[in-house]
Amino acid sequence: MGKVNAIITGVGGYVPDYVLNNEELSRMVDTSDEWIQTRVGIKERRILTEEGLGTSYMARKAAKQLLQKTGVDPDTIDALIVTTTTPDYKFPSTASIVLGKLGLKNAFAFDLSAACCGFLYTMDMAASMIQSGRYKKIIVIGADKMSSVVDYTDRQTCVLFGDGAGAVLMEATEEEGVGVQSSFFRTDGKGLPFLHLKAGGSVCPPSHFTVDHRLHYLYQEGRTVFRYAVTNMSDDVMEVMRQNNLTPGDVDWVIPHQANLRIEEAVAKRAEIDPSKVLINIERYGNTSSATIPLAMWDFEDRFKKGDKLILTAFGAGFVHGAAYFKWAYDGAAAAGKK
């Protein structure tokens, strides 16, 4: 037996049909298309409007497409992990709901919460599980219904967020030169005052007071978050390059968390990455939190060639941040045609 590594063997995605564009937002709050595009680079975002549908619905849609594209036998899936900040319920886990809807008979499921960095953390966990030799196939899903925690009277935050889900299949391989190469993750714990959802947890349970005072909506101090995001994401990209003796020219693609176009541009500049190598789709989806990176993989899958060097990086509430280095394992153009 050779050394076991973890590779991504397929990507699936889902975004709701309803498009909330800047023009419509400008009729809801004091903003404009020019103001939004200049400051955050977003033109539109997708919103899950159907009553009674939550994060698990989008996660299931993404995972179902993933299974269809890869042709994998659902009974061979060992685990399913959902990373989300907007679970359907406090309990049971959103992952357990998705597993049940997909009819996976031989897998276990759980949620992981790490805000906008959740997908990177979860992929690293799944890779470690596979590298241990105990598991061979794991579905990792990043999904968030951010519209459920956005205050559409707050123009500073409501323009930023959308809903969506992305999923990848991670599998064991003994092939050399592909798969997970390294990662660098950190949590500094200073972020609570600057980015949080105050009510609904054990510190501040739901009450008439919390509802009346609109405490169940996301709060963000934009300037502070912006500064930390640029510094940490670019530092993390450079650290992963240093660990692997990579120059910016060696990297084929960088997929950053899609939080703000200006953040993504600043990260690329600071890390000396050619902007043409930075994959960005924030203009169409906005910030979908843990779904941004897998949705970018889904959108740009047709560009990836076997052996391509990808660096993924993210930053989120906590503050949590990090970067991961992958070597792509298959012909993305052929797989993307199966959407």
- Which residues are catalytic, by number? 116, 257, 287
Closest CA to 288 of 32, 69, 62, 76: 62
Cα 190 versus chain centre, distance: 22
Bridge partners, residue 26, by sequence? none
Distance (Å, whole) CA 166 – CA 250: 27
Distance (Å, whole) CA 293 – CA 259: 10
Q: Are 99 and 72 in contact (CB under 8 A)?
A: no
Q: Are 76 and 47 in contact (CB under 8 A)?
A: no
Alpha helices in 213-315 (DSSP H): 222-243, 261-270, 282-285, 292-300
Q: Two tokens at 98?
A: 């998705």
Distance (Å, whole) CA 163 – CA 54: 10
Q: Where are the beta strands (DSSP E) in the chain?
A: 5-14, 18-21, 44-47, 79-83, 108-112, 137-145, 163-173, 179-187, 195-197, 218-220, 253-256, 309-316, 320-327
Place of tokens 């794991």: 138
Q: CB 3: neighbour CB atoms within 10 A?
A: 8
Place of tokens 């092939």: 175
Distance (Å, whole) CA 130 – CA 123: 10
